[in-house]
Chain A
Amino acid sequence: MNEPVVYTEKMKVPSSRLNKMERVWWGTLLPVFLIGVYFIIKGFFMEGMASTYLTDEVPWGAWVAFYIYFIGMSAGSFLLSTLIYGFGMKKYEKIGRAALLSAIVSMITAITFIFLDIGRPDHVFNSIIYWNITSTMAWEIHFYIVYILFLIVELYLSMRGDLIELAKKKNRLAKFYQFLTFGKKEMTKEDEQRDKKRMKILGIIGIPLAILGVHGGTGSIFAVLKAHPFLNSGLFPIIFIMSALVSGTALSISLYVIKNKVLKKPIDTEMVRSLGSLLALFLAIELIMEWYEFLVGTYGLQYEEMQTIGHMTTGPWWWSFWIFQMGFAMIIPLGILFLKRTRTSVNWILTASILTILGVVGVRFNMVVPVFIVPPFEGMPTPNYYPNLSEWVVTFGLIAMFLLLYTLGEKLLPIEEVEYSENGVIEHGK
């Protein structure tokens, strides 16, 4: 993943292939992103919220669903990275920085989604100036800011040794790296030790921050709504965290495997398998929780609860529940990761991960749409909601932004851990 300077004769062949792949990648994503930006300007800035299909009855829709989707990805990837830096699980070290990077990029995407969803972007700082301490949302806004800063510091510390190495090279980006390292020349053994300790502390502080603050907190935004009995349960924030772990792990697996396949690098099969069983574990726990959530919910025979479950499982959004949530993000990957023949194959694990990532979109939609289309009173007409064209185009634009930002991060920053063994600067115990 380095600059062309290091390419030798032998590497030229893959490098040109890589360039072609990359060109396709950028060539597809950039237009999608730009069209999204066009629609944001045309819709959000010129027409306001009227550019969406949202109504007074269903005031939250696709963008809220994608916002919690990316928050989940972020918290999940971050928690995976704490296993590495906080608890020293060396076997996952290869994906540590990638997980941190995807946590940052997911967070940025999530915040963009929710920023687009508010009616008065010009008033947005009021939520910081006039902090209402009983509002879960106000707490979340504060947590998000702390969390992003936190992630950036942690990623920076984990790369510092490599950044210093890169700053020594004689290419056009050296200046950039010199800037990033504040002109630090050499990484001593003490520095390394100190950074390692800092990382460990940060990783451990980060756990409550990510679980209780960022993700459990985002779940609580929904769970505290007593107007919606389906959401209003103590288990809800925990299910939220669980599906975050699921999507974060799946994202890390996919990013690692796809990247190494594209770059024609060797894949650490052992690690992928182990991550696969971690994913299976998270999925199984989530399934158990979902089961009790639905069991207890149905047993109450309450009007709104029954209506919500009815909408979810048999209403116009049935496919989101059965195909995405239950199929893609639960039963199929669990099956793949359970069967002996498939759970050892990297390709199958990748398939399971990609399906999970797709399926969790449905999980997030089901936390928003079917809940809000239940009217507050019997006798009120039942509304419905589908994202309109503008909402979809913007959504795809922002997903493209997510991928582009991630690719950019991978290109510019020393995200690959492989470099350690190459230049031998840092010896991570093996």
Chain B
Amino acid sequence: MGIFSKGEFTEKDWNHLLDRALPDAKQEMAKSPYDSELGFNMAKDARRVINGSLSLEDFHKKYSSSLVKEFGKEYVSETPPRRTGKGPQWAMVIDLRKCVGCDTCTVSCKAENRTPPGMSYNIVLETEVGQYPNVARINLPRPCMQCEKPPCAQVCPTRATYKLDNGIVVIDNDRCIGCRYCMVACPYGARSFDFGKSYEDEMIGFNDVTSPEYGVDRGERKKGKLPEGTVRKCSFCYHRLQRGEEPACVETCIGDARYFGDLNDPNSKVSKLAASPRAFRLKEDLGTGPSVIYLK
């Protein structure tokens, strides 16, 4: 911190303070009877393993012989076996017999994702079938299906829409050019374009937060600012999943008609329900492989 800097500390200053308090690594290491150089190199590469630029196997391969030389066989661990279990495959099960068509999911989704007027990631389709007196009302909640082979990602010219390893199809609004090709390619009508509308007139403070989606804080919602002019969609509330919470629609469903979980885990509720004879997916003939499974 300089003399003239009005007392404002920056991150650098704090770091500097901490560095001063820490003992000098070189000196400390020199006190140990073991090879300091090896220690430094391993620490550097360990960071690379953590940030993903070096695999754990390569790390072990690189150091095992020098480690054995330095510490003897009994102290050195073997290369750990490769992790075989896959990550989660998020899926949603919607029990249509439990759905009462109350639209709570739609409302909570709008509140959670702060979608502007006219935009709804989740809708509930309602129709009446049959002829009096044999009539029935059908409710069909429809979020994005998070397709296994998403046509929307296939057509996107910029790869702004893509599929995560956990099965969720996401949009990078900073890359999207707003061509809306994905919207016409989606067989489920599950995408919306941000026309820049706002509830500010009827709801004070609506503009205070833009979309919290994907955990990105975009600050105030303003004209001409992203995500306006780009396409938006349901992300299974990815930002909530990251905090260990269920999607908003699942949490608020009054009939407990929605289940959320990992399809890769054979013991999860969704896996069990997905295997039920009542299970089906929408427009299965298109080969999109939805991750939203309905129970009829």
Contacts and interface: CB of A to CB of B under 8 A. Distances in A.
B166 interface: no
Given A60-B184, A221-B181, A130 B175 contact: yes
B224 interface: yes
B95 interface: no
A377 B159 contact: no
A48 B158 contact: no
B84 to A, nearest CB: 30
B228 interface: yes
A377 B140 contact: yes
Contact of A137 (B157, B183, B188, B228): B157
A379 to B, nearest CB: 4
Interface residues of A, number: 41
Interface residues on B, range: 35 or more
Contacts of B179: 117-119, 127, 137
A28 interface: no
Nearest to A114: B179
Given A48-B229, A118-B177, A127-B177, A135 B157 contact: yes
A18 interface: no
Contacts of B226: 120
Given A56-B183, A120-B177, A225-B185, A138 B125 contact: no
Interface in B24-80: none
B72 to A, nearest CB: 51
Given A56-B119, A120-B229, A372 B184 contact: yes
A56 B232 CA distance: 11
A380 B190 CA distance: 12
Contacts of B229: 48-49, 119-120
B195 A135 contact: no
Most chain A beta-carbon contacts within 10 A, residue among B156, B178, B196: B178
A135 B178 CA distance: 15
A55 B118 contact: yes
Nearest to B189: A376
Interface in B148-195: 151, 154-160, 174-181, 183-189, 191-195
Nearest to A127: B157
A376 B187 contact: yes
A418 interface: no
A137 B155 contact: yes
Given A130-B159, A227-B184, A49 B189 contact: no
Contacts of A126: 158, 160, 175-177
A207 interface: no
Most chain B beta-carbon contacts within 10 A, residue among A55, A119, A132: A119
Contacts of A118: 177-179
B286 to A, nearest CB: 6
Which 8 residue pairs of A and B lie closest in terms of their CB atoms, listed nearest first? A119-B178, A119-B229, A379-B127, A138-B157, A227-B187, A376-B189, A59-B180, A126-B158
5 contacts: A56-B183, A119-B177, A137-B157, A224-B155, A379-B126
Given A48-B228, A137-B181, A377-B140, 12 more contacts: A57-B189, A117-B179, A119-B180, A119-B229, A123-B175, A124-B177, A126-B175, A129-B158, A130-B159, A132-B156, A225-B155, A227-B184
